[in-house]
Amino acid sequence: MIIDLDIKDTLGAISSEVLNGQNYNRSDFARSILNYPAMMVPSVQEPIIKSLSENLHGEVSLIDPFMGASNTLVTGMKYGLNVFGQDINPLSLLVSQVKTTYYSLCELEEARKDLIARIDSDMSILNEINFPNINKWFSENIQIELSKIYRAIQCQSDSRLRRFFWVAMAEVVRLTSNDRTSTFKLHIRTLEDIQSRNNSAVELFKSIVKRSIKDVAEYCQVLNESGYIKNGRYVKEARVVWGDSLAGLNTTRKFNLLVTSPPYGDNQTTVTYGQFSYLPLQWIPMEDIDTNIEIDYLKTTMEIDSNSLGGKMVKNFSNTQEALFTQSPSLQLLFASFDPEEKKRAKKVINFFHDLNKSIDTMLSKMTSRAYMVWTVGNRNVNKRLVRNDLIITDLLQSKGVELVTDLERDILSKRMPGRNNFSDLMSKEKILIFKTP
């Protein structure tokens, strides 16, 4: 068995070009089928997952409790690992269902031709979807065209194929809505911009479906050539579920490898996954994602984000803060630098780390002894002070007996991250922290 010192040397030898994602291809691992926020770059995670999985005895089972676009899972599948992912965002679940399913090029092409024929022959102007402010977010013509796509997908009898086309439609909804796509929050375009737009949801859908078929088929072919597909299925377990990782992980399996990135769910500071997903999810039936989803995710534009980590104020805030300070001297030092008014504004930081800390306990209950945990985290500025998320997460894990093996730093060159807003600055670097459980 390779000792951890060798693992540290092996991981330390990964080139900066690989860590910075300079060698990535957007079509790799079907990454481009939906432009999901803050996706982890598979080419960055790949050498880390390969090295750690080779260092583990027997079968390797990988978990990502905040799977997002499931790039960690599909990277694990490339090496024949058992994979399990969970996320509170239904759109994350949908895209992950597609990316962890085997599709043949033939079946996708046949379904595409049938679907396009249905769309082209549909002369109806009936709008299939209605929700508050729909006319604000979509022009009348776009609503009609999206409805044609919606009806055509509904006619597909195979739920696997319907999900594939719903993901393509989600990208079309994002690009044809009146939302500014430069941020993850819902911001209406200017009236001048809206009036000058001349796009077709149907033509865009046709283009995106072709591209998505190519990307998914290429990834499935990689799995096939590696011997990981038999009888049209992945030979190991690949399972994705909806779930709130703060409340628990919906699996009975134990894992010896965790690869994840915390979602920074407080929507004032960084990525508003829920707002990003709100408009696409209006057009996708829940029954084609998961009828067991426990939140009314279309109730408001903020519903998913408010149910994510840091989205709600904790009870007994003072006690919570002191308990966190006991576990993380780095967090305590940060707050000691704030004046009273700044501490009030930074309460969401405490909320987030309280929720993350509880989630870590949930994760550790599913990890085997001497399992590896890989955390990709970005540091950010709050109140014009650097929040060392890497140090705080290290403190929290070490307080539970988890040891830090090594850490790596990468520049964020290709990860789709938010720009500046009122509360925090753009993250330009990430730390990749590798731990080992007791």
Across the chain, which has 438 residues, the per-10-residue mean pLDDT values are: 63 70 59 78 84 91 96 95 98 97 97 98 97 96 98 98 98 95 83 92 97 94 95 96 96 97 58 90 98 95 91 89 96 92 86 95 97 91 82 97 91 53 53 94
Residue 264 has what pLDDT?
Answer: 60
Give 139: exposed, middle or buried? Use CB within 10 Å, 0-12, 13-18, 19+.
Answer: middle
d(CA 255, CA 365): 10
Residue 422 has what pLDDT?
Answer: 37
Residue 430 has what pLDDT?
Answer: 85
d(CA 72, CA 240): 12
d(CA 21, CA 43): 7
CA neighbor of 71 nearest in space, from 105, 32, 102: 32
Residue 17 has what pLDDT?
Answer: 65
Residue 348 has what pLDDT?
Answer: 86
pLDDT digits (tens, 9 = 90+) for 183-235: 778 889 999 999 999 999 999 999 999 999 999 999 999 999 999 999 999 99
In three-state secondary structure terms, 327 is helix
Residue 18 has what pLDDT?
Answer: 66
d(CA 86, CA 258): 12
Question: Could you give the C-alpha distances from 43 to 18, 28, 248, 309, in angstroms and in order?
Answer: 7, 8, 29, 27
d(CA 157, CA 436): 46
First-to-last alpha carbon distance for the chain, in angstroms, is 17
Q: How many CB atoms lie within 10 A of CB 154?
A: 14
Question: Could you give the C-alpha distances from 329 to 128, 176, 436, in angstroms and in order?
Answer: 54, 47, 21
Buried-exposed string 95-113: b where 16+ CB fall within 10 A, e elsewhere: bbbbbbbbbeeebbeebbe
Residue 176 has what pLDDT?
Answer: 97
d(CA 185, CA 422): 13
d(CA 264, CA 259): 16
Residue 268 has what pLDDT?
Answer: 43
Residue 22 has what pLDDT?
Answer: 58
pLDDT digits (tens, 9 = 90+) for 158-185: 999 999 999 999 999 999 999 987 777 8
